[in-house]
């Protein structure tokens, strides 16, 4: 079952949630693709100013594209996703993902499915890491169709030192 914020976001912006199932579910991790992932992750992290949904919108959970330059974790990832799609990445390979961070807090990241494994774009760090190096517990992610989410069974990733953002 998708997280409630995703459901509301998709009602407001259905074009952001439609996945073409004929698209590739993974991308070849070429040097150019890697450079694009790292560049967009860093650019979006530097561009959006962090603010909680409660402070920003007066609600507990609101997903959006940070049009005013402010957002929380899922907003960063949605902007990264939009920019990666504009750069030619298939939406189907870019999966919104719900995790529990090292502090036991809910967090959203972008999982990029590649022919070399799944990599995480995160607003808490500029480095793009393999999922298993993030230190997060993986709960669920967007499925291959966009409208469904799949359980990741609480897969645990080994801890890694991160600089908070």
Q: pTM of the full predicted structure?
A: 0.90
Domain assignment present for 121 = yes
Q: Which element (helix H / strand E) includes 122? A: strand 117-122
Task: Judge whether 113 lies within some domain.
Answer: yes
- Show the domain range for 54: 4-14+23-156
Question: What pLDDT does 162 receive?
Answer: 36
Tokens of 89: 């990445």
Count of all residues that appear for the chain in the document: 165
34-60 pLDDT per residue, tens = 999 999 999 999 999 999 999 999 999
CA angle 151, 152, 158 (to 5 degrees): 160
* CA atoms of 42 and 122, how far apart (whole Å): 9
Is residue 161 situated within a structural domain?
no
CA angle, 29 then 13 then 109, to 5° = 40
Domain of 62, CATH number, reads: 3.10.620.30
Residue 18 is predicted with a pLDDT of 87
Residues 81-116 pLDDT 10s: 999 999 999 999 999 999 999 999 999 999 999 999
Work out the angle at residue 148's Cα, subtended by the Cα atoms of residues 145 and 152, and round it to the nearest 5 degrees: 105
Q: Residues 59-88: pLDDT tens digits?
A: 999 999 999 999 999 999 999 999 999 999
């Amino acid at each position: 079952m998708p997280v409630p914020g995703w459901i509301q976001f998709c009602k407001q912006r259905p074009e952001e949630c439609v996945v073409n199932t004929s698209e590739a579910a993974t991308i070849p991790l070429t040097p150019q693709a890697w450079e694009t992932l790292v560049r967009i992750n860093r650019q979006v992290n530097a561009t959006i100013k962090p603010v909680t949904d409660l402070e920003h919108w007066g609600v507990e959970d609101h997903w959006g594209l940070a049009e005013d330059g402010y957002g929380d974790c899922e907003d960063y990832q949605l902007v990264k996703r939009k920019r990666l799609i504009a750069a030619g990445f298939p939406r189907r390979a870019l999966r919104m993902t719900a995790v529990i961070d090292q502090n036991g807090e809910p967090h959203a990241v972008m999982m990029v499915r590649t022919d070399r494994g799944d990599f995480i774009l995160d607003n808490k760090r500029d480095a793009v890491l393999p999922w298993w190096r993030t230190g997060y517990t993986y709960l669920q992610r967007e499925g291959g169709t966009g409208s469904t989410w799949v359980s990741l069974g609480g897969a645990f990733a080994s801890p890694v030192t991160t600089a908070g953002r």
